[in-house]
């Protein structure tokens, strides 16, 4: 396993337990070609697959048809301007205004472990866990060095890729696109799975056939977005939830992204992924280097569930750094849907009083505690406690909450500025804007220019002062609008195209500072719900608020899409009030609990005002959380039924790694009249083990539970749910 180089054949072979990736250097010019990615193979001599000598497209023997060759060869990293007319990854403009680039292999290095990516979040692994290949390529005409970096995680079937680009020439060049990954697939008989939505409808799964032509997803909003998601899977047509080949690609980045499958003239696929080129240009002066974010690629021949398990294990072990990633998180109650802006010390203490008696462990004070913020029209940036609302100050409030045996958490939106704020009145130039043009408002706010260090330093200091003024155990880091009017007062004209990426780098720098200085604080990412639920944020935050839609039924689809890639331990999920604030639907309190239990679990309601009946269920849910959170955090997640496809039922399951126990969640979304009970087939158990189901007398083998199934009794109403605990006997 690991990486080997066959010198005679000029072949690199990257192996993990179940996957092999092969690269070939061909021809005296050193074109770097993609040979194979898929199920593990022992052979190295597969270079014939690139068919680089197939007449008439042979650069060595028939240079006359060079363009035909360039437009057909499966490049490991595609470039623009010299004859490959498919989607380029790299487009470089020289000072004379021309743009062309052709990469040729120069040398390589192979070493144990994985380097950090400067200024960017990235996965990590020890020398025992992974091996890295760096392919150093050059374009001698413009003196550009491009390093293709591959790290193979041997035990997990994960391959990460990123690119380093260095200007070794005497003059600056301009990167007009610098994507992170190019991958060629033989044939076109594939489907593509991607995630789509909107505010309150994030990450719904979509599957479609790959056709000739291009199908692209992306964000140019400065955030990974509610609408599309930096994830794509390319799967064989016959691939199902548990069978078939799946190639997953996830970009570790929180800003503008682009991913595209292209069915080419020869009925192959070129897939590319990276920073969206639309708002991107980067001036690379002599000696400077640009590093692209990394793509985490996963191969599984065990269907979509197989890919999901690899991503979950990988992110739990090799991406999330917080000390909380392996810990049970305190059950929180957040006051947003309980009070919105209408709260004060007394109200919060009432909530804390009741919540603590029910077993809730932390009070989170959301938006509205600072400046003059009594609605969402003002005060972002004025990170000073509003003592008219919080009589006695923040420290007093936290102490009183602590006295009730609860921890305390707080909300910030550090990247924003309200036009009606003291900060804006003092520094109107700190907002992202194009000089002379009135910037567009969204939620009545502007975005701070985080490419500027002075802006970041001032905001950080304000947050730090609050953090040091009281024992704060948790922070929710929100971000509630997209970037528009891209202009910075500090960037030269030929660097304005850098703002979007520099903004993201600025956010990462601040998150790095915050997590280094406050490692004990539990940090939850958020972006108007789930507009920045991505691996970049997970590197800093062990959990992210998944959606502002807290309705249990809407959440089924949102959490299904999210959990296809991200561990359940990262999915911010709360039991909220009914009728639900987003959709006006009323669902049973138990069902809301089941859905939230498969995330971080917490409450978002006014506990002083809910019915006694609901209130009495809270201690039971708290107990379920404490009993099962270990299993939910660490186990393997399976999708059993999808409301999206079935229309009527939804079910999912978490199985412990040793297969000794499982939790089955079942929701009868719509009650069917005059119908027999639904037979549910479980997954992931050990065929030979015998299992009991809590509350039932029958003992059944794993095989019977998985292949024959168990009937789930009909429930009297819509939206009702059941939780089954299956234990090995
Ligand atoms: C958007 C978040 O998703 C909500 O949970 C809440 O924190 C609001 N922002 C506050 O403005």
Give the contacts of 209 (CB within 8 A, at least 6 positions apart). Answer: 190, 191, 192, 237
168: DSSP letter: -
**Per-residue pLDDT for 57 more than 90?**
no
Instruction: Give CB contacts under 8 A, 24+ apart, made by 50-54.
Output: 50/24, 50/26, 50/74, 52/26, 52/27
Ligand 1 atom 11 nearest Cα: 367
d(Cα 466, Cα 472) in Å, to the nearest integer? 9
Active site residues: 478, 548
Where are the strands (E) in 526-621, listed by range? 543-545, 571-572, 575-576, 602-604
Q: pLDDT band at residue 56, thresholds of 50, 70 and 90? A: low
User: How many helices, marked H, and strands, marked E, lie in the chain?
Assistant: 14, 39
Eight-state DSSP code of residue 331: P
CA contacts within 13 A on the Cβ side of 195: 29
547 lines ligand 1 (CB under 6 A): no
Which ligand 1 atom sits nearest the alpha carbon of residue 604? Answer: 5
DSSP character at residue 495: G
Q: Which atom of ligand 1 is nearest to the CA of 411?
A: 7
CA–centroid distance, residue 332 to ligand 1 (Å):
15
99 touches 93 (CB < 8 A)? yes
Using one digit for the tens of pLDDT, what is the confidence trace for 9-50?
A: 999 999 999 999 999 999 888 999 999 999 999 998 898 998
Instruction: Tell me how far apart the alpha carbons of residues 509 and 3 are, in angstroms, rounded to a whole number.
Output: 33
399 CA to centre of ligand 1 in angstroms: 25
Residue 409: other Cβ atoms inside 10 A: 25
DSSP lists the bridge partners of residue 126 as none
Token digits of residue 457: 């330093």
- 528 pocket-lining for ligand 1 (C-beta < 6 Å): yes
Residue nearest to atom 2 of ligand 1 (CA): 528
634/567 Cα distance (integer angstroms): 9
To which H or E segment does residue 290 belong? Answer: strand 289-291
Q: Annotated binding residues for substrate, as ranges?
A: 199, 366-367, 443, 476-480, 526, 548
Is it the case that residue 55 has pLDDT exceeding 90?
Answer: no
301 Cβ closer than 6 Å to some ligand 1 atom: no
Distance, in Å, from the CA atom of 117 to the CA atom of 119, rounded to the nearest integer, reads 6
Pocket lining: 367 vs ligand 1, CB cutoff 6 Å: yes
For residue 617, name the pLDDT band (cuts at 50, 70, 90): very high
The per-residue pLDDT for range 681-719, each reduced to its tens digit, is 999 999 999 999 998 999 999 999 999 999 999 999 999
- Mean pLDDT of the region 406-430: 98
Tokens standing for residue 340: 């919105």
For residue 457, pLDDT over 70 is answered with yes
SS3 145: strand
Q: Is the CB of residue 548 below 6 angstroms from any atom belonging to ligand 1? A: yes
Encode pLDDT of 375-401 as tens digits.
Answer: 999 999 999 999 999 999 999 999 999
Query: How many residues does this entry show for the chain?
Result: 729
Name the packing angle between helices 552-563 and 589-597 (round to 10°): 10
The two tokens of residue 449 are: 């220019």
Provide the token pair at 660: 């000794």
- For ligand 1, whether the C-beta of 412 sits within 6 Å is no
pLDDT at 58 over 90: no
Tens digit of each residue's pLDDT (9 = 90 or more) over 561-581: 999 999 999 999 999 999 999
Tokens of 661: 């126990």
Q: Choose the residue to mutate in 199, 332, 335, 336 for probing ligand 1, maximizing ligand atoms within 8 Å of C-beta.
A: 336
Q: State the angle between helix axes of 499-517 and 453-469 in degrees (0 to 180), rounded to the nearest 10.
A: 30
What is the rounded distance in angstroms from the CA atom of residue 679 to the CA atom of residue 711? 4
Q: What's residue 613's pLDDT?
A: 97
Q: Average pLDDT of 93-115?
A: 97
Whether the CB-CB separation of 133 and 2 falls below 8 Å is answered with: no
The tokens for 150 are: 């591959």
d(CA 499, CA 468): 32
Smallest Cα–Cα separation from 328: which of 651, 659, 622, 722? Answer: 622
User: pLDDT band for position 59 (50/70/90)?
Assistant: confident
CA atoms within 13 A on the CB side of 607: 28
- Centroid of ligand 1 to alpha carbon of 154 (angstroms): 40
The answer to whether 325 and 318 have CB atoms below 8 angstroms apart is: no
Cis-peptide into 579, omega within 30 deg: yes
- Do the Cβ atoms of 18 and 12 come closer than 8 Å? no
DSSP 8-state symbol, 42? S
- Among 370, 376, 411, name the best residue to mutate to test ligand 1's pocket (greatest count of ligand atoms within 8 A of Cβ): 411
76 near 134, Cβ under 8 Å? no
DSSP result, 466-526: HHHHTT--EEEE-------S---TTS-GGGGGGHHHHHHHHHHHHHHHHHHH-TTSEEEE-
How far is it, in rounded angstroms, from Cα 484 to Cα 432? 8
Q: Is 430 in the pocket of ligand 1 (CB under 6 A)?
A: no
- Tell me: pLDDT of 1 over 90: no
| H helices present in 259-409, as ranges | 303-318, 336-339, 345-358, 393-403
Q: Do the Cβ atoms of 572 and 543 come closer than 8 Å?
A: yes
Give bridge partners of residue 248 from the DSSP assignment: 233, 298
Backbone angles phi, psi at 633, to 5 degrees: -70, -35
How many Å apart are CA 471 and CA 217, to the nearest integer? 43
Within 8 A by CB and 6+ apart from 15, the residues are 1, 2, 3, 4, 21, 40, 152, 154
Is the shortest distance between the CB of 202 and ligand 1 below 6 Å?
A: no
What is the pLDDT at residue 258? 98
* Centroid of ligand 1 to alpha carbon of 254 (angstroms): 18
pLDDT band at 181 (very low <50, low <70, confident <90, very high): very high
Model pLDDT for residues 128-158, shown as the tens digit of each residue: 999 999 999 999 999 999 999 999 999 999 9
The answer to whether the beta carbons of residues 56 and 63 sit under 8 Å apart is no
Q: Which two tokens stand for residue 649?
A: 């039922």
Confidence of residue 647 (pLDDT cuts 50, 70, 90): confident
Which atom from ligand 1 is nearest to the alpha carbon of 545?
3
Report whether residue 534 contacts ligand 1, using a CB cutoff of 6 Å. Answer: no
584 vs 568: CA distance, rounded Å: 26
* SS3 state of residue 556: helix
Q: 677: buried, middle or exposed (CB in 10 Å: 19+, 13-18, 0-12)?
A: exposed
CB-CB neighbours of 726 under 10 Å: 22
Indicate which atom in ligand 1 lies nearest the CA of residue 548: 3
- 160 is written with which tokens? 């990460």
Q: How far apart are CA 366 and CA 168, in angstroms?
A: 50
Whether the CB-CB separation of 228 and 218 falls below 8 Å is answered with yes
Binding residues: 199, 366-367, 443, 476-480, 526, 548
Please determine, for residue 61, whether its predicted confidence score (pLDDT) is greater than 80.
no
Among 443, 480, 582, which residue has the most ligand 1 atoms within 8 Å of its CB, making it the best to mutate? 480
Which residue has the least CA distance to atom 10 on ligand 1? Answer: 367
Where do we find the tokens 């989607």? Answer: 87
Question: What is the CA(245)–ligand 1 centre distance, in A?
Answer: 39
Please give the share of the chain, as a percent, with pLDDT higher than 70: 100
Q: How confident is the model at residue 54, as a pLDDT?
A: 81
Cβ atoms of 331 and 601 within 8 Å: the answer is yes
Sheet of 699-701: strand order equals: 636-641, 649-655, 661-668, 720-728, 690-693, 699-701
In this structure, are strands 362-365 and 407-412 parallel, antiparallel, or unpaired? parallel
Contact predicate 627/663, CB 8 Å: no
Give the pLDDT confidence score for residue 709 in this predicted structure: 97
**Nearest atom, ligand 1, residue 527 CA:** 3
Q: How far apart are CA 683 and CA 495, in angstroms?
A: 53
Res 146: pLDDT: 98
Q: If you ran DSSP here, which 8-state letter would residue 707 be given?
A: I
124 lines ligand 1 (CB under 6 A): no
Other C-beta atoms lying within 10 Å of the C-beta of residue 67: 13
- Answer yes or no: are the C-beta atoms of 239 and 182 closer than 8 Å: no
Give the number of the atom of ligand 1 that is nearest the alpha carbon of residue 547. 3
Substitution site in 526, 533, 558, 600 for ligand 1 pocket (most atoms within 8 Å of beta carbon): 526
pLDDT, tens only, 577-613: 999 999 999 999 999 999 999 999 999 999 999 999 9
Ligand 1 within 6 A of 480 CB?
yes
Report the distance separating Cα 211 and Cα 228, nearest Å.
20
Domains by residue range for the chain, with CATH = 3-318 (2.70.98.60), 332-634 (3.20.20.70), 640-728 (2.60.40.1180)
66 touches 143 (CB < 8 A): no
Ligand 1 in reach of 526 Cβ (< 6 A)? yes
Bridge partners of 19?
A: 39
**Nearest CA owner, ligand 1 atom 1:** 528
């Amino acid at each position: 396993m690991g990486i080997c180089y066959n010198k005679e054949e000029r072949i690199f072979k990257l192996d993990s337990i179940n996957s092999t990736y092969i690269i070939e250097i061909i021809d005296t010019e050193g074109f770097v070609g993609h040979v194979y990615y898929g199920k593990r193979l022992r052979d190295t001599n597969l270079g014939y697959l690139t068919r680089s000598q197939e007449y008439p497209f042979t650069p060595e023997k028939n240079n006359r048809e060079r363009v035909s060759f360039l437009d057909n060869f499966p490049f490991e990293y595609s470039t623009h301007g010299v004859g490959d007319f498919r989607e380029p990854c790299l487009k470089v403009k020289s000072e004379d205004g021309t743009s062309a680039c052709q990469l040729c292999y120069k040398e390589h290095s192979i070493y144990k472990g994985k380097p950090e990516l400067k200024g960017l979040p990235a996965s990590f692994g020890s020398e025992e866990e992974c091996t890295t290949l760096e392919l150093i390529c050059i374009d001698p005409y413009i003196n550009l060095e491009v390093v293709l970096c591959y790290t193979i995680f041997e035990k997990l079937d994960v391959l990460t890729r990123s690119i380093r680009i260095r200007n070794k020439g005497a003059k600056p060049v301009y990167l007009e696109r610098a994507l992170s990954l190019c991958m060629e697939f033989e044939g076109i008989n594939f489907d593509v799975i991607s995630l789509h939505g909107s505010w309150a409808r994030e990450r719904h799964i979509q599957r479609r056939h790959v056709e000739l032509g291009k199908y692209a997803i992306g964000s140019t909003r400065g955030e990974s977005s509610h609408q599309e998601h930096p994830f794509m899977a390319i799967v064989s047509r016959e691939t199902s939830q548990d069978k078939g080949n799946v190639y997953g690609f996830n970009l570790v980045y929180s800003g503008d992204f682009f991913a595209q499958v292209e069915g080419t003239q020869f009925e192959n696929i070129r897939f590319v992924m990276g920073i969206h080129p639309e708002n991107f240009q980067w001036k690379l002066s002599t000696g400077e280097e640009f590093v692209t974010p990394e793509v985490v690629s996963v191969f599984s021949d065990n269907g979509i569930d197989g890919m999901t398990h690899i991503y979950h294990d990988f992110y739990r072990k090799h991406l999330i750094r917080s000390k909380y990633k392996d810990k049970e998180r305190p059950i929180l109650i957040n006051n947003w849907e309980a009070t919105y802006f209408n709260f004060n010390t007394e109200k919060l203490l009432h909530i804390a009083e009741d919540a603590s008696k029910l077993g809730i462990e932390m009070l989170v004070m959301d938006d509205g505690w600072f400046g003059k913020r009594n609605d969402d029209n003002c005060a972002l940036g004025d990170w000073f406690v509003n003592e008219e609302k919080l009589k006695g100050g923040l420290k007093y409030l936290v102490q009183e909450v602590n006295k009730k045996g609860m921890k305390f958490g707080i909300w910030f939106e550090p990247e924003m500025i309200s036009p009606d704020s003291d900060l804006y009145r003092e520094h109107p130039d700190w907002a992202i804007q194009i000089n002379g043009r009135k910037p567009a408002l969204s939620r009545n706010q502007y975005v701070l220019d985080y490419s500027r260090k002075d802006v970041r330093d001032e905001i950080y200091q304000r947050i730090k002062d609050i953090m040091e003024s009281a024992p704060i155990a948790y922070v929710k880091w929100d971000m509630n609008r997209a970037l528009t009017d891209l202009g910075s007062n500090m960037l030269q004209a030929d660097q304005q195209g850098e703002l979007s990426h520099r903004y993201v780098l600025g956010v990462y720098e601040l998150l790095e500072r915050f997590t280094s200085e406050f490692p004990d604080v539990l940090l939850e990412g958020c972006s108007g719900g789930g507009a920045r639920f991505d691996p970049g944020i997970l590197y800093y935050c062990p959990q992210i608020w998944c959606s502002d839609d807290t309705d249990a039924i809407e959440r089924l689809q949102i959490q299904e899409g999210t959990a296809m890639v991200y561990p359940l331990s990262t999915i911010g999920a709360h039991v909220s009030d009914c009728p639900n604030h987003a959709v006006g639907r009323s669902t049973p309190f138990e069902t809301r609990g089941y859905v939230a239990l498969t995330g971080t679990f917490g409450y978002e309601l006014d506990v002083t005002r809910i019915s006694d009946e609901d209130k009495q269920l809270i201690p039971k849910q708290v107990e379920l959380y404490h009993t099962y959170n270990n299993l939910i955090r660490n186990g393997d997640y399976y999708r059993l039924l999808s409301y999206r496809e079935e229309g009527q039922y939804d079910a999912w399951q978490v199985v412990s790694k040793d297969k000794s126990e499982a939790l089955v969640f079942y929701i009868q979304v719509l009650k069917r009249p005059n119908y027999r009970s639904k037979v549910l087939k479980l997954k992931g158990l050990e065929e030979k083990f015998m299992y009991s189901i809590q509350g039932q007398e029958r003992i059944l083998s794993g095989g019977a539970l998985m292949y024959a199934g168990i009937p789930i009794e009909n429930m009297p109403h819509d939206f009702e749910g059941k939780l089954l605990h299956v234990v090995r006997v």
